[in-house]
Structure 1
Amino acid sequence: MSELKLTGKIKVIYDLQTWDSGFSKREFVVTTQEQYPQDVKFEAIKDKAAQLDTVAVGDDVDVSFNVRGNEYNGKYYVNLQAWRIQKATAGAPATPPMPEKPDTAIESFGEEEDDLPF
């Protein structure tokens, strides 16, 4: 599977959860910056949770993640496990802007003089 990446603004960072087995995770929510924004919940497990100490609510971030699925008691679950969380590159838009008008080459098609002899 190719690398999955999402860019957005951190909306919520939850407290670290730990279990007796030594497993720990920290969940957080990122709001995408597109025409119809989506709130996407991620989890950072074990040592990856420490990356959330370098960002704060309101920061623009790039999140690289894996999709994990499992079955428990006949129900299926999907988790998005973040493995890299970093502040977004300054000045780069979260999503590319939509073009305001069609490409001029397409508009002028057929309007040029034809130099062909046939």
Structure 2
Amino acid sequence: MEIRGKVHEIGAIQQVTESFKKRDLIVAYAENPQFVEYIRFESTQDRVNIFDNLAIGDEIEVSFNLRGRPWTNKDGVTTYFNSLVAWRVTKLANTGAAASAPGFAETPAPIDITSSGADDDDLPF
């Protein structure tokens, strides 16, 4: 799977155990520019260095795998976790290739729905 967005945050490498390390990347994804989503990707082991050449604000394309797993606590309650595991990150040039990505420059300011002055019973969705 791939997704295009803008680098929002680059995490430090975390040494979880002696044999396991990971790193996070937060990408601002604006399929709908009014509602920007902040998506966390992770890289593990020998792939933690794929975020090294990135800077905040870079337009990128992330190739990733979607992983899920169950975890059962001591009381027998099962919870499910999902992970987006990045395996390649490509910087997009500020050319026509990046123009097809959702635009952040035209992202409007947030709308204040609390002071609409209209009927307060109308929900915004």
TM-score category by the smaller chain? 0.7 to 0.9
| Total equivalences in the alignment | 93
* TM-score, length of structure 2 as denominator length: 0.69
Aligned to 1:19: 16
Of 25-34 and 74-83, deviating more is 25-34
1:20-45 per-position Cα deviation (integer Å, ceiling 9, x unaligned):
34111101110013323211100011
Unaligned runs of 5+ in 1: 97-118
User: 1:68 and 1:95 mapped to 2: Cα distance?
Assistant: 25
Unaligned runs of 5+ in 2: 73-77, 104-125
Q: Does 1:10 align with 2:7?
A: yes
SS at match of 1:51: helix
Kindly provide the amino acid, as one letter, of the partner of residue 72 in structure 1. W
| Partners of 1:17 and 1:24 within 8 A in 2 | yes
RMSD: 1.5
Q: Does 1:41 align with 2:40?
A: yes
The one of 78, 88, 91 equivalent to 1:87 is 91
| Partners of 1:55 and 1:86 within 8 A in 2 | no
The 5 Å alignment of 1:68-79 reads 68-73=67-72, 74-79=78-83
Q: Percent identity?
A: 32
Of 13-22 and 43-52, deviating more is 13-22
